[in-house]
Amino acid sequence: MPLALVALSVGAAPAQYLRGVNLAGAEFGDGVLPGVYGRHYTYNSEQTFDYFAARSLNFIRLQVRWERLQPVLGGPLDPVNLGYLKQDIAWAKAAGAVVSIDAHNYGRYRINEQGSLKEYILDNVYNGVVKVSTANLTDFWVRLSNEFKYEPSVLAYDLMNEPHDMGSADWRQISQAVLNAIRGNLDTKLIMIPGNSYSSATAWPNVNGFAGWIVDPANHFYYEAHEYFDHDYSGGYAWSYDQELAANPQLATVGVTRLQPFLNWCRNNSVPCYLGEYGIPNNDARWLGVLDQFLSALDAAGMPGTYWAAGEWWGAYPLSVQPLGDFAIDRPQTRTLLAHLAPGAFTTISAAADFGYAVAPGALVSGYGGGLAGGTQAAANLPLPTKLQDAEVRLTDVNGAITMAPLVLVSPSQINYQAPAGTPTGRVDVTVLRGGTAVASGVLEVRPIAPTIFSANNSGSGIAAAQVVRVKSDGTQSYENVAAYDANQGKFVGAPVNFGADQLVLLLYGTGFDSADAGQTTVSIGATPLSVQYSGAQHQFPGLDQINAPLPPSLAGTAEVTVNVTVGGKAANAVTVLFQ
């Protein structure tokens, strides 16, 4: 389904807005320009676009560096870096995401002069000469417009990241001139207009004036602000949460407070607006509450937003939401972002565990959204129905074939369903229908094998939702659960596995690997590898898979131990078993 950022007047409830992330890397290494690709800077891989599109964070503010795309002011675009950018945009398109190209230059351009990089501010005079001008910036954007004005997956042009300390330059005049040039190039694409002074949401009226300044014949632009929640507004988060709280006892609502000046300005001027950057560190869970309240205010305003930041080179950067573990493990901030997706978003994950972004043909999955069904109903019989209550899930695969998904359960906020067996790998567009009318949509990324293991607490971690088969010396067998509900703790805990003189076989249940076999599967408990007797479909319930692995007596007394599984070379989520 094509995505569009519907123009809105903040203060009226919008039909739709997008949420997503900033995707950094191409602007890295700005002290070495142009730099060496893969050493000083990077463009992100296809998997990153697949991951965020599957998470319904499908609006990508894609950072670029002006000097790399146009090494000589007024000259042609560099074909190599333009090629990297086009590849990323093609990957975004294939994944079902849209892109806003962000010139991440802060109102400046760096020129190599006699072996030294010198930074020059737009339209400022240096020794009687303007080194970089409005005309240079308009030339750059017209050249990019020539490349992308007919590419629908490039949703927007973000004219300049965080212009600040502009000296004698007038950013309002500069941004209007660039917009005029793009429109003069017969390009009506959405244009993001950042504000001066680092685009601060809090300082917006004071630094940009109390009235809007853009006149757009296409009427297709957004004013863009940025906001961070630390004491100096920088996003550096140099202080701990406790230090921030001591300085500001209203820290829990600081995001809402700092948003208000920009939000009021947008409403007073009846103009569409956008939050291009916001982010929190992952070093204290209390920041998640700050982000949650801020996003609730953004939701209420119907304002699009992109979190800072994602990108494959961030490493331990505390604000990063780039997934870990080969794209299998979400960062702490991601769950909060997923609670504030755009209206009509439908995000699907494995029914066994929120682990990884891909699903396999035949797997059991859970999709989340709002207004998905008129009530709650579970499938009563097999085969699974394709309609429950008034809800259906329509899947359109990479070849354009349409299938209605088998449904396990529907409710207003969640639909459990099965990805049909035989679904080809690649992107699948998912549409939730109520009474035949589309009410939500998203994408699946389908891979041949995507193993996940059920846990007793439905969290994808902790005690496994598994069984042990006890085989006595006379050949009789009995089944024992490895988890038991503890009413005092209000959760499942380990039921100790006692070997005695019997032979024990561990039965793990999961989904996403019914096409595998024992030879493709490894299981280890702690440092002990197990032999695998069986791996594949469970055969009693559609989509449920099973692994059988004998337990060696040497595990007796090892207490609660981690179980690690790989299938087809793909790691599953880790669970635990308690041994007595």
Question: Is 113 marked active-site?
Answer: no
Per the DSSP assignment, residues forming a β-bridge with 113 are: 116
Alpha-carbon Rg for the chain in angstroms: 27
State how far the Cα of 226 lies from the Cα of 201, in Å rounded to an integer.
6
Question: Burial level of 308, CB count in 10 A (0-12/13-18/19+)?
Answer: buried
Residue 564, SS3? strand
| Catalytic site residue from 27, 224, 227, 277 | 277
Question: Is 560 marked active-site?
Answer: no
State how far the Cα of 549 lies from the Cα of 570, in Å rounded to an integer.
18
Phi first, then psi: what are they for 491, rounded to 5°?
A: -160, 170
Other beta carbons within 10 angstroms of residue 495's beta carbon come to: 19
Residue 434, SS3? strand
**Percent of the chain as helix, strand, coil, to the nearest 5:** 20, 30, 45
Per-residue CA distances from 520 to 545, 565, 568 (Å): 14, 11, 5
State how far the Cα of 70 lies from the Cα of 84, in Å rounded to an integer.
13
Let me know: does 473 contact 467? Beta carbons within 8 Å. no
State how far the Cα of 575 lies from the Cα of 466, in Å rounded to an integer.
10
Q: Which two tokens stand for residue 356?
A: 């990884």
Question: Burial level of 433, CB count in 10 A (0-12/13-18/19+)?
Answer: middle
State how far the Cα of 529 lies from the Cα of 506, in Å rounded to an integer.
13
| Catalytic site residue from 162, 224, 227, 445 | 162
Q: Which two tokens stand for residue 351?
A: 């029914």
- The residues carrying an active-site annotation are 162, 277
